[in-house]
Amino acid sequence: MKLSEDDADTGRDPVIHYKLLWNKIEDPLTEDWVELSTFPNLEDIKDVTSGFLINTRYRVKVAGQNGVGVGIYSDTEEVLTDDVPVRMNTPTEDPITNATYIKVDWEPITLPVDTGRDPIIYYKLEWDQGNGNWIDAGIPTDQLKTSWEFTTDDDGILNGTTYKFRVMPLNRAGYGVTSNELSVIPSSPPN
């Protein structure tokens, strides 16, 4: 959608805000447009997600409004909203796992068809500490991190206890389906 904020396009009166209208492609072609919202500038329109169904085709158009009134709407654009990411592969146990240390790895998803046509924000790792309750391992400082480490000192892992891990990707549309579970039993090599 080509929009401009120069003087000629604003009617020589500053634009107060922009109006975004939409209708679903699946609806019969009609002039029944729904006003989603108004936006103070064009940049805010690019990241609109609220009010739209995921993985749905829409027609959208935009017009500026100044003190005189609403301008002419832009040409209609067809957009496909983002979808949640696909289910990831099961995480794997890193070979350096031992009696006091567990490292869980997973493969990132990068293809648009897998990411829901929207970049992955981060991968959420959940773990069951051997008691049947799943908890969030936390949000990593490196948001596209593809491994997580657990230690006896920091996380209380115990030799011989079964721990389970699962991962899910997040994009702006939401979380993908949780991966299958990985079970890990930290242990020492035989004496």
| Residues 63-83: tens digit of each pLDDT | 888 888 888 988 888 887 778
The closest alpha carbon to 107, from 124, 93, 90, belongs to 90
Contacts of 141 (CB under 8 A, 6+ apart): none
Q: 17-80 with 92-184: one CATH topology? A: yes
Q: Where are the domains of the chain?
A: 17-80, 92-184
In sequence order, what DSSP letters do the residues of 151-182 get, joined into one string?
Answer: EHHHH---TT--EEEEEEEEETTEE-PPPPPE
CA angle 73, 76, 81 (to 5 degrees): 120
Alpha carbon distance 74, 72 (integer Å):
7
17-80 homologous superfamily: Immunoglobulins (2.60.40.10)
pLDDT of residue 108: 94
Give strand ranges (E) for 49-155.
57-65, 77-80, 92-93, 101-105, 122-128, 134-136, 147-151
- Residue at 81: amino acid letter: T
pLDDT tens series, the chain, 191 aa: 444 454 445 567 788 888 888 887 776 666 678 887 777 777 766 666 556 777 777 888 888 888 888 889 888 888 877 788 999 999 999 999 999 999 999 999 999 889 988 899 989 999 999 898 999 998 777 778 899 999 999 999 999 999 999 999 999 888 998 999 999 999 876 66
Residue type, 65: Q
> Looking at residue 54, what is its pLDDT?
74
Class of residue 150 by CB neighbours under 10 A (exposed 0-12, middle 13-18, buried 19+)? buried
Beta partners for residue 63, in sequence order: 19
Please tell me whether the overall predicted TM-score, pTM, comes out greater than 0.85 for this model. no
Task: Look up the CATH superfamily of 92-184.
Answer: Immunoglobulins (2.60.40.10)
**Could you give the percent of the chain with pLDDT greater than 70?**
85
* CB-CB contact of 149 with 102 (8 Å): yes
Give the model's pLDDT for residue 18.
87
